[in-house]
Amino acid sequence: MGFVKIFRKLYIKTTNFTRSYQGRDKKLVSFYKLWSFCYDISVGLDPAFGREMKKMIDSAVRRGNFVLDIGCGTGISTIYASKIANKVIGIDFSSDMIGKLKQKINEGGITNIELITGRFPEIFPKTLRFTSIISSFAIVHFPPEERKTIYKQIFDLLENNGRIGLFSAQGEIAPSFETKNEIINNLESVGFKNIHNSDVSDIYRIITAEKP
Ligand SMILES: C[S@@+](CC[C@H](N)C(=O)[O-])C[C@H]1O[C@@H](n2cnc3c(N)ncnc32)[C@H](O)[C@@H]1O
Domains and CATH numbers, the chain: 2-210 (3.40.50.150)
What separation in angstroms does the CA of 31 have from each of 24, 74, 146, 206? 11, 14, 21, 25
At 1 the pLDDT is 58
Residue ranges around ligand 1 (CB below 6 Å) = 28, 32, 43, 71-73, 76-77, 91-94, 97, 119-120, 136-138, 141
pLDDT at position 2 = 77
Residue 171 has pLDDT above 90, yes or no: yes
Q: Which pLDDT score, from 0 to 100, does residue 36 have?
A: 96
Ligand 1: residue whose CA is nearest its atom 10:
138
The per-residue pLDDT for 18 is 78
Tallying the residues shown for the chain, one arrives at: 212
Q: Measured between alpha carbons, how far is 165 from 56 in angstroms, rounded to an integer? A: 6
Q: Which atom of ligand 1 is nearest to the CA of 39?
A: 9
Q: Is the pLDDT at 180 greater than 70, yes or no?
A: yes
pLDDT digits (tens, 9 = 90+) for 26-59: 999 999 999 999 999 999 999 999 999 999 999 9
- Please give the number of the atom of ligand 1 that sits closest to the Cα of 69: 6
CA of 124 to the centre of ligand 1 (A): 15
Gap between the Cα atoms of 103 and 172, Å rounded = 36
Average pLDDT over residues 99-120: 98
Indicate if the pLDDT at residue 9 is higher than 90: no
Nearest-angstrom CA–CA distance, 1 and 118: 40
Ligand 1 centroid–CA 38 distance in Å is 15
Do 85 and 110 form a contact (C-beta atoms < 8 A)?
Answer: no
What does the pLDDT read at residue 149? 97
The pLDDT-based confidence of 5 (bands split at 50, 70, 90) is confident
Task: Quote the pTM value.
Answer: 0.97
